[in-house]
């Protein structure tokens, strides 16, 4: 009996020892993000305060014990956010209308900050407060104010150190026509506090101050947004270029941006958990944060598309849309932590993940924002059929598949009024588009490695809780014959082509390496520097597009700020010419700005080109440091008599040269022989 007791005793010790080993291993495996989160929890303490609301004639205050949000009554301007020891993270020196505000750019560059007239309490409990600031358009103000009914919503929740914001905008059918070129929320933060900006894991930096951009501290460059810092308040920034467009990013990546006050170890972040309310699709580029310090939540703009994106609202056309919600999130760490920036950034990413997981939010109280049970989904599989590449069907790996307003192929990239829902396929081409608002859509897709775009010729009607199974869809990319040669990768960007080193005097250190190198200032003028005496010549089989094909087809600088058209040559050899068929030049354009490409075959001096794009594009991607704009594809049929056995040359002339920014970026070029398949 004594032995049994002893055995039980040792078993208990063994179990305790094993538990200690497991706990130790779990502790050692804790990620740095989790450690940072624990530091933040200790600093913030878990807050269980009720959400309190106080309304007076001049302002509305919502306080949950973590943040105190002050909104001007009845204008709806966000005039204060108190957090920790910071009485206001917004710039108190600014007018109330210039701290946290919505704005819209409409007809003839008119500017409306959406000042409202009334406030309504939508929800008030111990856990949540939701307010709506409203204005109804009056026809007596025709031509003076934006014809739009406005609701600006604010939500503060228990335990969340921030404020949710969304807008509900409506145009009734009898409203006069109007353009709405830009819709956004802007925040102007305390300039003496917030100096460090972060918009991605790689783009984070100490920023210049607004005074550094004025005369005496900087030198203006070729366009108004860009300056060379000559005498900045921070001497470490001397000799760098500052330009807000260097920090633009695609919608699909524009989920988190913000600022850090190093002295207080406080972060201010804009979180966008969904892109359903943004325009132009997942690849539309737009602004994030920039000198001010300014933080932006962009919903609609003509950046990188020009007026090709649909921003025109006709009389007789009713319209209503919800923009957001987005979360304005604040966090803090100990200023004694040397890595407080990383702690704050990692915590912001953690919070963003929670917001994405919670989408669509179930705490909003507007019938115009459907919750998850009021939405539907679409499933299917996308395959590719290109018999010149593979006799079998190919899986559309990592393809972008989306639902957008009914239209033509690729119309989604110019669609500016409705909602869009996008996902990427898995490795065998399956897709699942979740949480789709009720409505009528078309399904669109494009696939890396294949030219053109897919559109399902079927209207898809989404109703609450329905699940639509589309089965297997097959995309036949444009193809008329076998590939004779190709330049580039069909990926809708010019990123794979040669991007030169910037001029040493025009460097922004944060965008100098890797995938962001194209963001450097002045790269367009490097073409004239590299090709001093003659234009680009690319020899198929000998040249390498990553080294020998300049990323943008720009004019040549001839001195005295004058430019002239440029003609690029593609030299190649044909062992034979098929006299019984038609050849095809597939020319995919990644961006175009007031440009025209003329195509000639073997005769550079012919009066009339074989093909011209005519003037195309308002993308302005070159000066705004974009590597793409709107996608265009030209399938150019070429009769056999344009070719000859042996050496051939294609001449691409970009004819416009009024300024250095009239340019195109090629995505991909391919010459196909005549159809050889029965």
Q: State the pLDDT at residue 500.
A: 96
Residues 416 and 519 in one domain: no
Q: In terms of residue numbers, what domain contains 437?
A: 372-475
Asked if the structure places residue 317 within a domain, the reply is yes
Residues 521 and 573 in one domain: yes
> Nearest-CA neighbor of 137 among 114, 104, 110?
114
Asked if the structure places residue 282 within a domain, the reply is yes
CATH classification of the domain holding 448: 2.60.40.1120
- For 638, the enclosing helix (H) or strand (E) is strand 632-639
Report the sign of the C-alpha dihedral through residues 336, 339, 343, 345, in that order: positive
d(CA 100, CA 268): 13
CATH classification of the domain holding 343: 2.70.98.10
Q: Tens digit of pLDDT for each residue in 508-529?
A: 888 766 788 999 999 999 999 9
Asked if the structure places residue 22 within a domain, the reply is no
Residues 463 and 560 in one domain: no
Last residue of a domain, one of 475, 499, 526: 475
Could you say which DSSP state residue 369 is in?
S
Residues 354 and 383 in one domain: no
Residue 466 has pLDDT above 70, yes or no: yes
Q: Tens digit of pLDDT for each residue in 87-98?
A: 999 999 999 999
Domain count along the chain: 3
> Nearest-CA neighbor of 153 among 436, 358, 372, 361?
361
Angle at 146 between CA 143 and CA 148, to 5 degrees: 130
Residue 128 has pLDDT above 50, yes or no: yes
CB hemisphere CA count around 513 (13 angstroms):
4
Residue 24 has pLDDT above 80, yes or no: no
Residue 16 has pLDDT above 80, yes or no: no
**For residues 422-451, average pLDDT:** 98
Q: Tens digit of pLDDT for each residue in 61-73?
A: 999 999 999 999 9
Asked if the structure places residue 397 within a domain, the reply is yes
d(CA 412, CA 331): 37
**For residues 207-236, average pLDDT:** 96
d(CA 474, CA 543): 35
> Nearest-CA neighbor of 592 among 530, 654, 651?
654
Residue 177 has pLDDT above 60, yes or no: yes
Q: 10: pLDDT confidence band, cut at 50, 70 and 90?
A: very low
Q: 29: pLDDT confidence band, cut at 50, 70 and 90?
A: very low
Contact 434, 455 (CB under 8 A): no
Write out the DSSP string of 218-276. Answer: EEE-SSTT-EEESS-SSGGGTTBEE-GGGG-EEGGGTTEEEEEETTTTEEEEEE----T
**Distances in whole angstroms, Cα of residue 665 to Cα of each of 46, 526, 553:** 52, 15, 6
Asked if the structure places residue 151 within a domain, the reply is yes
3-class SS at 562? strand
CB hemisphere CA count around 613 (13 angstroms):
27
Asked if the structure places residue 462 within a domain, the reply is yes
Residue 32 has pLDDT above 60, yes or no: no
Contact 640, 577 (CB under 8 A): yes
d(CA 572, CA 564): 26
Residue 506 has pLDDT above 80, yes or no: yes
Length of the chain: 678
Backbone dihedral angles phi then psi of residue 26, each to the nearest 5 degrees: -65, -40
CATH classification of the domain holding 573: 2.60.120.260
Q: Tens digit of pLDDT for each residue in 161-174?
A: 999 999 999 999 99
Report which of residues 244 and 512 the model is more confident about: 244
Contact 566, 576 (CB under 8 A): no
Q: State the pLDDT at residue 512.
A: 67
Residues 440 and 379 in one domain: yes
Last residue of a domain, one of 310, 330, 358: 358
Residues 467 and 487 in one domain: no
Contact 607, 644 (CB under 8 A): no
Least confident of 43-47, 223-227, 428-432: 43-47
Backbone dihedral angles phi then psi of residue 489, each to the nearest 5 degrees: -125, 130
Residues 645 and 583 in one domain: yes
Q: 410: pLDDT confidence band, cut at 50, 70 and 90?
A: very high
Residue 595 has pLDDT above 80, yes or no: yes
Residue 292 neighbours by CB under 8 Å, 6+ apart = 188, 189, 191, 210
Residues 348 and 436 in one domain: no
> Nearest-CA neighbor of 550 among 561, 563, 566, 562?
566
Q: Per residue in 31-47, is it b (16+ CB within 10 Å) or e — as a string?
A: eebeebbebbeeebeee
Asked if the structure places residue 9 within a domain, the reply is no
Residue 563 has pLDDT above 60, yes or no: yes
Residues 403 and 496 in one domain: no
3-class SS at 443? strand
Q: State the pLDDT at residue 187.
A: 98
**For residues 219-242, average pLDDT:** 95
Asked if the structure places residue 24 within a domain, the reply is no
Residues 229 and 352 in one domain: yes
Could you say which DSSP state residue 309 is in?
S
Contact 142, 177 (CB under 8 A): no
Q: State the pLDDT at residue 7.
A: 40
Residue 17 has pLDDT above 70, yes or no: no
Q: State the pLDDT at residue 464.
A: 97
**For residues 581-605, average pLDDT:** 97
Q: State the pLDDT at residue 445.
A: 98
Residues 562 and 601 in one domain: yes
Least confident of 36-40, 467-471, 539-543: 36-40
Last residue of a domain, one of 295, 327, 358: 358
Residues 407 and 317 in one domain: no
Residue 550 neighbours by CB under 8 Å, 6+ apart = 497, 498, 500, 527, 530, 531, 536
Q: Give the chain's mean pLDDT.
A: 93
């Amino acid at each position: 009996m004594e032995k049994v007791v002893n055995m039980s005793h040792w078993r208990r010790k063994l179990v305790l020892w094993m538990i200690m080993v497991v706990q130790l291993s779990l502790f050692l495996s804790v990620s740095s993000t989790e450690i940072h989160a624990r530091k933040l929890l200790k600093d913030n303490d878990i807050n269980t305060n009720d959400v309190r609301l106080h309304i007076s004639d001049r302002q509305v205050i919502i306080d949950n014990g973590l943040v105190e949000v002050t909104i001007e009554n009845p204008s709806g301007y966000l005039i204060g956010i108190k957090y920790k020891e910071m009485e206001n993270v917004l710039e108190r020196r600014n007018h109330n209308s210039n701290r946290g505000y919505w704005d819209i750019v409409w007809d003839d560059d008119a500017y409306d900050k959406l000042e409202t007239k009334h406030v309504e309490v939508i929800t008030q409990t111990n856990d949540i407060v939701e307010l709506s600031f409203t204005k109804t358009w009056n026809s007596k103000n025709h031509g003076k104010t934006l014809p739009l009914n406005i609701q600006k919503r604010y939500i503060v929740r228990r335990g969340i150190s921030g404020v949710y914001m969304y807008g509900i905008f409506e145009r009734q059918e009898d409203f006069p026509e109007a353009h709405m070129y830009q819709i956004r929320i802007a925040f102007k933060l305390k300039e003496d506090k917030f100096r460090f900006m972060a918009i991605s894991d790689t783009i984070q930096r100490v920023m210049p101050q607004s005074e550094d951009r004025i005369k005496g501290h900087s030198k203006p460059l070729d366009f108004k947004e860009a300056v060379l810092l000559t005498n900045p308040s921070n001497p470490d920034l001397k000799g760098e270029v500052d330009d807000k467009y260097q920090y633009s990013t695609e919608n699909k990546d524009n989920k988190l941006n913000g600022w850090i006050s190093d002295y207080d170890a406080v972060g201010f972040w804009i979180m966008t958990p969904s892109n359903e309310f943004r325009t132009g699709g997942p690849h539309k580029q737009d602004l994030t944060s920039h000198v001010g310090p300014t933080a932006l939540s962009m919903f609609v703009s003509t950046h990188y598309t020009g007026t090709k994106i649909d921003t025109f609202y006709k009389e007789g056309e009713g319209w209503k849309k919800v923009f957001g919600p987005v979360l304005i999130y604040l966090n803090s760490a100990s200023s004694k932590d040397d890595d407080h920036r990383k702690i704050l950034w990692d915590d912001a990413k953690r919070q963003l993940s929670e917001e994405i997981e919670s989408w669509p939010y179930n705490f909003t109280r507007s019938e115009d924002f459907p919750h998850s049970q009021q939405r539907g989904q679409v499933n299917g599989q996308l395959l590719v059929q290109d018999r010149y590449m593979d006799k079998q069907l190919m899986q559309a790996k990592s393809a972008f598949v989306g639902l957008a307003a009914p239209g033509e192929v690729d119309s989604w990239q110019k669609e500016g009024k409705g909602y869009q829902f996008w996902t990427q396929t898995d490795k065998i081409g399956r897709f699942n588009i979740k949480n789709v608002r009720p409505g009528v859509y078309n399904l669109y897709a494009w696939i890396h490695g294949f030219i053109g775009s897919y559109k399902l010729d079927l209207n898809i009607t989404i109703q609450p809780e329905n699940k639509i199974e589309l089965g297997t869809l097959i995309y036949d990319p444009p193809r008329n014959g076998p590939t004779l040669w190709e330049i580039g990768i069909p990926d809708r960007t010019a990123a794979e082509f040669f991007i030169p080193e910037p001029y040493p005097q025009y460097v922004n250190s944060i965008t100098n390496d890797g995938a962001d190198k194209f963001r450097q200032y002045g790269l367009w003028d490097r073409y004239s520097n590299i090709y001093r005496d003659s234009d680009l010549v690319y020899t198929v089989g000998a040249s390498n597009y990553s080294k020998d094909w300049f990323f943008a087809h720009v004019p040549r600088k001839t001195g005295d700020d004058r430019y002239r058209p440029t003609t690029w040559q593609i030299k190649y050899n044909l062992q034979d010419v098929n006299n019984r068929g038609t050849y095809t030049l597939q020319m995919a354009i990644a961006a175009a700005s007031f440009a025209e490409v003329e195509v000639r075959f073997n005769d550079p001096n012919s009066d009339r080109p074989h093909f011209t794009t005519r003037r195309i594009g308002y993308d302005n991607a070159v000066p705004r440091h974009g590597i793409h704009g709107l996608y265009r594809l030209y399938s150019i049929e070429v009769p056999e008599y344009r070719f000859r056995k042996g050496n051939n040359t294609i001449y691409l002339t970009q004819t416009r040269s009024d300024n250095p920014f009239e340019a195109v970026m090629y995505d991909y070029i391919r010459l196909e022989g005549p159809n050889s398949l029965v």
